[in-house]
Chains A and B, each alone.
Chain A
Amino acid sequence: MLRYLGARLGQALLILVGISMITFALIYLLPGDPVRQIAGRSATPETVESIRRQLGLDLPLWQQYLRYVGGLVQGDLGRSYQQKTEVATLIASRLPATLLLLAGAITVELLIGLSAGILAAARRGSALDRAVMVASFTAVSAPQFVVGILLLYVFAVQLGWFPIGGYGSFAHLVLPALTLGLLGGGWYARVTRSSMIDVLRQDYIVTARAKGAGRARVLLVHALRNAALPVIAMIGLDIGLFMSGAVVVESVFGWPGIGQLAWQAIQRIDTPIIVGVTLVAAVAIILGNLLADLVAPWVDPRIRLRR
């Protein structure tokens, strides 16, 4: 177990180095000059150059990178070009909203995806199964933007059940979490369905029924546990995905998460924020996968033996 964690940590470090390098290079290659953004259109060439020197942007790229990494190992993500605030502080201030939306979205995904997937698998080939397949296909291919606006219009504007946007209470969370959860739930439904169909064919399902277990018990106890691994892997992926911010949904609902922070930073070429958010996202993806890997053997004991 310790060796496994050690290996994963080494892997994670390599990935982080790689990602930070690539992000740095990409931003450098991007058209647009951050210094001009900061200085404004009317600034004289002298002002521009002095700001450039001040920020260290006159140095060659590799030196800029080394300086950044030097700060990073001391826990310093740098400061925003625009707001002069520490990037770490900016990200930390967005963390609660992001985590809340993440938890809400994954909860909705699981509720919808698991129940739809289990029912569809249990009644394979029925009208219900076909409905689930069509609905999940629609969900995974629907644009977040459209669904978000639609929910907002119906449930906030017309019915007035939820606030139109913003952050601060459970009511604020419902619509954005529902938007992400409905759409992501389509993937969960498909993965759950196919995994359950696979499991329901197995001999031990017949054994469970031959023991006198009822339908619900066979599905929820005997089959679900065996079908859970792909779903757990998906939760791991989702944690990483949502931690890098749900840009579209955050904009639609005015949700102050990491996605909005990143989006604004990209528009202003605020390099330290972009790299910082990218690194946080990378860490979250690694942690999400690690979490899934740690939970897996607990759900399926056969994995314990293999490791």
Chain B
Amino acid sequence: MPLLEIDGLTLAFRGAEGELPVVEGLSLSLEAGQVLGLVGESGCGKSVTARSIMRLLDSPPAVYRDGAIRFEGRDLLRLDETAMRALRGGRIGMIFQEPMTSLNPTFTVGFQIDEALRLHTDLSRPARRARARELLARTGVGAPDRRLAQYPFELSGGLRQRVMIAMAIACDPRLLIADEPTTALDVTVQAQILELLLELRARTGMALLLITHDLGVVAETCDEVAVMYAGTIVEQAPAERLFAAPRHPYTAALLASIPQLRPGVRRLPSIPGTVPAPGLRPPGCAFVDRCTRRLERCTSDRPALRVEAEHGVACWNPVP
């Protein structure tokens, strides 16, 4: 059984002009201890998906129409708020893109790490402090005692992201969701943070859902890759396999348009045409306007993700 399995997730945002379908029939799976890269162009629904796992979207406006998000066998969409609260920051940790704005500016680093421990453990105050120090040391933050007394605005972007990570792993989560954790950082700091995440994964055996639009990062860090396009996963496969033999025309086009996979390719390379906006997606395959392999039925029928030998692809005419 996978640690996390999203099965046909369908969600819309309710707005003034009716419901806007944002995620449509999204399926992906993540085994314990694995690193899954979730890649896709900006706006395709990566953050919304990540926040759905944590049930962080206010509903309304978010409306879950269909599907399940199974974590350790339980459907998170059916859990009540109390059970969800125990999971958030407990079994599932999350870090975000903007370390500058993701920490509360009016509380010390020490308070914010301590809070994560207080919410999920019955450790005594001294024990929590010792643990906070240990967490900072483990995330590569020097002089932990001084850092604990500082406010976020006194730290650099890289340090703040390390503090965010320390907070997110405080209670030994089984899954860490990292939503573009390095996008806002300098290239050198980016590499350090990724290295830290991999090291933590190796040490604690937690799984990592790494959201990025940097294919170079994916190539270097991920065991598995899920490629997202217009609100759904179009291809998921082990990283090596996906890079060597992509099957979905979108993935193939992406890979063909970058000469070399290096970290630091900030945006996904452009391929001709534009992504249809939510609400304007065609009834069939959302990639149809940009696809060179399209068939008759692509316009009217939407292909589902079909998995063969650990390689999932949602296409009527995949690359052989």
A81-112 residues with Cβ-Cβ distance < 8 A to B are none
11 A-B residue contacts at CB 8 Å?
A208-B104, A209-B56, A209-B88, A210-B54, A210-B168, A211-B115, A211-B116, A211-B119, A212-B86, A213-B85, A214-B85
> When the two chains form their complex, are residues A302 and B105 in contact, meaning their CB atoms are under 8 A apart?
yes
A226 within 8 A of partner (CB): yes
Interface size on A, residues (CB 8 A): 20
A186-224 residues with Cβ-Cβ distance < 8 A to B are 202-204, 206-214, 222
A12 within 8 A of partner (CB): no
B75 within 8 A of partner (CB): no
Smallest CB gap from A304: residue in B: B151
> When the two chains form their complex, are residues B103 and A204 in contact, meaning their CB atoms are under 8 A apart?
yes
Known: A207-B167, A302-B106. 12 other contacts (CB 8 A): A204-B102, A204-B103, A207-B96, A207-B102, A209-B54, A210-B89, A211-B89, A212-B86, A212-B88, A213-B85, A226-B105, A302-B105
B67-110 residues with Cβ-Cβ distance < 8 A to A are 85-90, 93-94, 96, 98, 101-107
B164 within 8 A of partner (CB): yes
B102-156 residues with Cβ-Cβ distance < 8 A to A are 102-107, 115-116, 119-120, 151, 153-154
Band of interface residues on B: 20 to 34
Give Cα distance in the complex from A211 to B103, angstroms: 11
Give Cα distance in the complex from A211 to B118, angstroms: 10
Given A213-B119, A302-B151, A204-B88 contact (CB < 8 Å):
no
A14 within 8 A of partner (CB): no
> When the two chains form their complex, are residues B153 and A203 in contact, meaning their CB atoms are under 8 A apart?
no
Smallest CB gap from A209: residue in B: B56
> When the two chains form their complex, are residues B96 and A212 in contact, meaning their CB atoms are under 8 A apart?
no
For A207, what are the chain B residues with a Cβ–Cβ distance below 8 Å?
A: 96, 102-104, 164, 167
Chain A interface (Cβ within 8 Å of chain B)? Answer: 202-204, 206-214, 222, 225-226, 299-302, 305
For A301, what are the chain B residues with a Cβ–Cβ distance below 8 Å?
A: 105-106, 151, 153
Give Cα distance in the complex from A29 to B67, angstroms: 79
For B107, what are the chain A residues with a Cβ–Cβ distance below 8 Å?
A: 222, 225
For B93, what are the chain A residues with a Cβ–Cβ distance below 8 Å?
A: 210
Smallest CB gap from A229: residue in B: B106
For A202, what are the chain B residues with a Cβ–Cβ distance below 8 Å?
A: 101
Given A206-B56, A206-B96, A209-B88, A226-B116 contact (CB < 8 Å):
no
> When the two chains form their complex, are residues A212 and B120 in contact, meaning their CB atoms are under 8 A apart?
yes
For B90, what are the chain A residues with a Cβ–Cβ distance below 8 Å?
A: 212
Given A206-B56, A302-B153, A212-B89 contact (CB < 8 Å):
yes
Give Cα distance in the complex from A124 to B90, angstroms: 29
A220 to chain B, nearest CB (A): 13
Give Cα distance in the complex from A295 to B119, angstroms: 29
Given A214-B85, A222-B104, A226-B105, A203-B96 contact (CB < 8 Å):
yes
